[in-house]
Amino acid sequence: MISNNVSAYLPLLLNNRREDPICAYIYDINKLKKHVHYLKESLPSYCSLFYAVKANPDMKIIHALEEYIDGFDTASEGELNKILNLTDKPIIFGAPAKKDRELEYLSKGNLHAMNIESERDLHRLNRLGSVTGEKLPVLIRVNSTYQVARSSHKMTGVPTQFGIEEKRIPTLLNDLSDYPYLEVKGFHFHAMSNNLDALDHLEFIHSCREKIVEWKAVFSLPSATILNAGGGIGINYEHPEEPFDWETFTNGLQQMKALFTHEGIQLILELGRYMVADCGFYVAEVMDIKRNHGEHFALIRGGTHHLRLPAAWKMSHPHTIYPVDEWYDEPLPRPELREEFVTVAGELCTPNDLLIRKSYIERLKAGDLVVFSKAGAYGWTISHHDFLSHPQPEFHYLE
Ligand SMILES: Cc1ncc(COP(=O)(O)O)c(C=O)c1O
């Protein structure tokens, strides 16, 4: 599970080990570029590939994937400014609570479109358009009735803060003349996180298309040509051997091509997790091993303040043990485990700081490295770095 580039790099990391135990994020930029290039090449022409910056806003990552994708999904002024300084590719902005300054990027012409998440968004953007006298391009974010069963988080189909409830959309479209300074470019349906079922994702997109076709027919919306299906394609952290079946997914999209092109609808996929998860590795040195109440624990330099995902999702994060021969603390005894179940915990003072839960290992020694793979998305930036004021990990980029 460790990429070849990272395997080749770990001895260098160990050679440069100073006083402090190793704790680092390693991003395999070559792997990222190959992956994103492949994703883009395998999509049919009616489908545009956007990157959802929130998954990993690291500038080196954004830079690396920029040439392969068609645009960006941003969710804050901070994200927006990173992208505006880098590219002139289309940018979509969507956030449930928007500041006035963020809305103004649309009227300044910096954005391809902005998501409308509520009736108040409609009023505010229409007022903004009236100031300049221009029609502003918007996507209506729909909180649809569709639920994707195998996704881990549902943003729509259940009560959430996102989008406008599907049953209210017809009334809104009927009243569009009340908002003369808005141009509806299409609809946004981001509905889930971490869906692992390709057929279900196709079914979801199909149902979104049917809704758009119906609304276009009933309300005459010639400018509404975008179906933004959001992100939500998953990474199988717990069973990496059963990944989301991208080939089935893209074959299914190919089969829908005639329908989409006939109706002149552009499909946008705004992927985050699926684009960048696999390029990231979080490496942490084992500092101690012990037994409490019949269970084994390994303590690492680092923890869920650097990689929060396994704590947030109460799961074991995929990992590999990288054995290290040299023991830096001679003549003190070197703690070791063989053929046991072990829980790997971080350096925080909370029992929630667990990254691996009761996982079988052949052998583990203090001084070994635990390499967490699939750490490139929602890793570092969703974590609570400042808790306990430990030093931050190092960041390495393999190009
Ligand atoms: C509007 C929107 N689009 C795209 C994404 C990216 O989702 P994912 O990382 O699951 O692909 C998100 C994530 O929250 C989102 O809110």
* pLDDT at residue 155 tops 70: no
Residue 105 falls within a domain, yes or no? yes
242 shares a domain with 191:
yes
163 shares a domain with 237:
yes
Amino acid of residue 246: W
Return d(Cα 2, Cα 5) in angstroms, integer: 8
- pLDDT of res. 152: 63
- Whether residue 213 contacts residue 263, with contact meaning beta carbons closer than 8 Å, is answered with yes
Return d(Cα 224, Cα 185) in angstroms, integer: 4
Q: Which of 25, 6, 1 is nearest to 385 (CA)?
A: 25
Best of 48, 61, 142, 270 for a ligand 1 pocket test (most atoms within 8 Å of beta carbon):
270
Does residue 232 have its Cβ closer than 6 Å to ligand 1? yes
Last residue of a domain, one of 271, 295, 328: 271
Q: Which residues contact 292 (CB under 8 A, 6 or more apart)?
A: none
Burial (0-12, 13-18, 19+ Cβ within 10 Å), 204: buried
- Whether residue 26 contacts residue 2, with contact meaning beta carbons closer than 8 Å, is answered with no
Residue 77 falls within a domain, yes or no? no
| 3-state class (DSSP) for residue 130 | helix
- pLDDT of res. 158: 73
**Closest residue CA from atom 7 of ligand 1:** 231
Does residue 55 have its Cβ closer than 6 Å to ligand 1? yes
Q: Write the DSSP assignment of 61-79 as a string of letters.
A: HHHHHHTT-SEEEE-SHHH
Domain count, the chain: 2
Residue 341 falls within a domain, yes or no? yes
Catalytic residues: 349
211 shares a domain with 98:
yes
Residue 98 falls within a domain, yes or no? yes
pLDDT, tens digit (0-9, with 9 covering 90-100), for 128-138:
999 989 999 99
Does residue 234 have its Cβ closer than 6 Å to ligand 1? no
Last residue of a domain, one of 253, 271, 289: 271
231 shares a domain with 210:
yes
Q: Which residues contact 132 (CB under 8 A, 6 or more apart)?
A: 107
Question: Residue 149 — pLDDT band, cuts 50, 70, 90?
Answer: low
167 shares a domain with 19:
no
264: tokens are 């002149």
285 shares a domain with 143:
no
Question: Residue 159 — pLDDT band, cuts 50, 70, 90?
Answer: confident
Largest CA distance in the chain: 80
198 shares a domain with 316:
no
Last residue of a domain, one of 224, 245, 271: 271
The number of angstroms, rounded, from the C-alpha of 277 to the middle of its chain's C-alpha atoms is 7
Average pLDDT over residues 346-365: 97
**Closest residue CA from atom 9 of ligand 1:** 272
| 3-state class (DSSP) for residue 356 | strand
**Mean pLDDT of all residues in the chain?**
95
Question: Residue 183 — pLDDT band, cuts 50, 70, 90?
Answer: very high
- pLDDT of res. 326: 93
**Closest residue CA from atom 3 of ligand 1:** 230
CA of 50 to the centre of ligand 1 (A): 10
DSSP-derived secondary structure letter, 375: -
Percent of the chain whose predicted confidence (pLDDT) is above 70: 97
Return d(Cα 125, Cα 95) in angstroms, integer: 14
- Whether residue 65 contacts residue 36, with contact meaning beta carbons closer than 8 Å, is answered with yes
Does residue 273 have its Cβ closer than 6 Å to ligand 1? yes
Residue 102 falls within a domain, yes or no? yes
Q: Ligand 1 atom closest to Cα of 275?
A: 11
Q: What is the CATH number of the domain that holds 231?
A: 3.20.20.10
Q: Ligand 1 atom closest to Cα of 274?
A: 11
313 shares a domain with 192:
no
Average pLDDT over residues 9-28: 95
* pLDDT at residue 18 tops 90: no
pLDDT, tens digit (0-9, with 9 covering 90-100), for 213-263:
999 999 999 999 999 999 999 999 999 999 999 999 999 999 999 999 999
Residue 220 falls within a domain, yes or no? yes
pLDDT, tens digit (0-9, with 9 covering 90-100), for 63-116:
999 999 999 999 999 999 999 999 999 999 999 999 999 999 999 999 999 999
Residue 174 falls within a domain, yes or no? yes
284 shares a domain with 262:
no
Consecutive H or E run containing 358 = strand 354-365
192 shares a domain with 102:
yes
Residue 50 falls within a domain, yes or no? no
Q: What is the CATH number of the domain that holds 284?
A: 2.40.37.10
331 shares a domain with 373:
yes
- pLDDT of res. 161: 85
Return d(Cα 90, Cα 274) in angstroms, integer: 20
Range of the domain at 155: 90-271
Question: Residue 12 — pLDDT band, cuts 50, 70, 90?
Answer: very high
235 shares a domain with 136:
yes
Phi and psi based region of residue 371 (left: phi greater than 0; alpha: psi -120 to 50; beta: remaining):
beta
**Closest residue CA from atom 12 of ligand 1:** 231
Does residue 52 have its Cβ closer than 6 Å to ligand 1? yes
Best of 61, 79, 190 for a ligand 1 pocket test (most atoms within 8 Å of beta carbon):
190
Strand partners, 227: 187, 267
- pLDDT of res. 39: 98
